[in-house]
Amino acid sequence: MKEQRVYSRVRKNWKLEYRLEGPGGKRGKPMTAGLRDIGGGGFCFRCHSPHGPGTLISFSLSTARGITFVVGTGRILWNRPAEKGYDHGVQFIGRNQIVKAADEAIKRILATQRVSK
Q: Residue ranges per domain, the chain?
A: 15-112
User: pLDDT for 22-81, tens place per residue?
Assistant: 877 788 899 999 899 888 788 999 999 999 999 999 998 888 788 887 788 899 999 999
State residue 64's pLDDT score. Answer: 78
Number of other residues whose CB lies within 10 A of the CB of residue 59: 21
State residue 14's pLDDT score. Answer: 83
pLDDT of residue 102 exceeding 80: no
* Burial profile 65-83: b = 16 or more Cβ within 10 angstroms, e = fewer: eeeebbbbbbbbeebeeee
pTM here is 0.74
Helix (H) or strand (E) holding 78: strand 68-82
Does 15-112 carry CATH code 2.60.40.150? no
Tell me the sheet residues that pair with 16: 33, 61
User: Is residue 7 within 8 Å of residue 116, measured between CB atoms?
Assistant: no
State residue 40's pLDDT score. Answer: 75
Q: What is the DSSP letter of 110?
A: H
